[in-house]
Structure 1
Amino acid sequence: MKVLLVKANNRPASDAVSSKMYEAFAANLKGVEVSTFDVFAEDMPYFGQDFFDAFGRAQAGTLTDEDKRLLAAKQKAMDALSAADVVVFAFPLWNLTIPAALQTFIDYVYQAGYSFKYNEQGQLVPLLTSKKAIFLNARGGVYSSPEAAPMEMSLNYMRNVVGGVFGMEVIDEVVIEGHNAAPAQAEAIIAEGLEKVKAAAEKLSLVAAQ
């Protein structure tokens, strides 16, 4: 089994709960081939017109050095995803959504003909259905309540894209929330959550061993 860890927080584990979650999962994952794609450490220009211009020049065979850099960055993300059987996303809720660097990773792999397609009836067909995903999400507030859940656009977004559009089977989710809203209970909240992260890694290790 090949496992890709997508790390989406460049704050140290001493300050960031999702970084703690990433480290805990990696430390307890056994018997699998592991690679990490750190979206903050990689060269990942934002997706936009420069990319579309590069796509056009690629078809014309007139790529510039900058075009090659952009297309190589996109291809690296796609290659990392292609090689994995299981993808583990460790990410925080920042300003109600995912970090921009993780959004760029999603933009790179969100490609018709690669992660999805449209059939003759115009319906979306996921293309990554053979892959599995695990989400490790941290959010300082409490967004699991019915009142706050509609505002939460990090885990919900990842579910909709990775599980919906791409068709990957989401086999586990661990959410640590409320540690900033309740500082007196923060240590206990985080500790309990990290035990769940450890259990998720051990469960995946057991599956790999079968």
Structure 2
Amino acid sequence: MNVLVVKANNRPDGISTKMYDTFMENVQGVDVTTFDVFAEDMPYFGQDLFNAFGKVQNGEALTDVESRLLAAKQKAMDALTAANVVVFAFPLWNLTIPAKLQTFIDYVFQAGYTFKYNENGQLEGLMGDKKVVILNARGGYYSSPEARPMEMSVNYIKNVVGMFGMEIIEEVIIEGHNASQDKAQEIIANGLEAVKKVAQSLQTVNA
């Protein structure tokens, strides 16, 4: 089984970084690849990419940034294609996901690759053979009914992978360690223990 871990935090002391580290230390019996969105060369999605598509069709020379965009997009797609299980390890930053993780999603969010439109114009996911694990950290409390609508990181990832047809099999969220600093160590420790159990259970997943 091939496991792709999309790491989306470059803070060494970040809690979602610790979740990533804990996962990597405890996963066994599977082939694991990390796609670190902060370490990869990932120019932002925009007109340069669409210019590149047009130039490729017309056989025209590409600029440096256009070449980099096409290479980065292909690398992200190749990594996703090879995976049976995709693990997203990411924080909630300013109510949403890090921009670099958004860029990864932009690269793979492509009609004919991750989804298609059927004859009725309805969207159908094309990645129903892949499973997803969500590892997320957020310093405040967003699980209450009042705060949940403001949380646009886990909710966004769930919507995206749902559109792709992927199945979420595990979810670990560490929250409240900044809001309740007197309980921070306990909150983090319990969360990391849950991550450890998820990592150890992956070798029993039927991909």
Report if aligned partners of 2:43, 2:68 keep a CA contact under 8 Å in 1: no
Q: How does 1:36-75 map to 2 (within 5 A)?
A: 36-66=34-64, 67-75=66-74
Deviations 1:118-142 (A, max 9, x none): 0111000100110001000000000
The aligned residue for residue 6 of structure 1 is 6
Aligned-residue identity in percent: 69
Q: How does 1:75-154 map to 2 (within 5 A)?
A: 75-154=74-153
Q: Which amino acid aligns with 1:16?
A: G
Specify the SS of the correspondent of 1:130: coil
The aligned residue for residue 20 of structure 2 is 22
Specify the SS of the correspondent of 2:54: helix
Deviations 1:39-58 (A, max 9, x none): 00000000000001001111
Asked if 1:169 is matched to 2:179, the reply is no
The aligned residue for residue 159 of structure 2 is 160
Deviations 1:71-102 (A, max 9, x none): 00100000000000000000000000000000
Q: Which amino acid aligns with 1:131?
A: K
Normalised by the size of structure 1, how large is the TM-score? 0.96
Q: Which amino acid aligns with 1:69?
A: R
Q: Which amino acid aligns with 2:81?
A: S
Give ranges in structure 2 of 5+ residues lacking alignment: none
CA distance in 2, matches of 1:37, 1:202: 20
Give ranges in structure 1 of 5+ residues lacking alignment: none
Runs of 4+ in 1 over 4 A off after TM superposition: none
Residue 156 of structure 1: how far off its partner (Å): 0.2
CA distance in 2, matches of 1:128, 1:63: 33
Report if aligned partners of 2:91, 2:138 keep a CA contact under 8 Å in 1: yes
| Count of aligned pairs between the two proteins | 206
Q: Which of the residues 193, 197, 200 maps onto 1:199?
A: 197
Residue 65 of structure 1: how far off its partner (Å): 4.2
Q: Which amino acid aligns with 1:5?
A: V
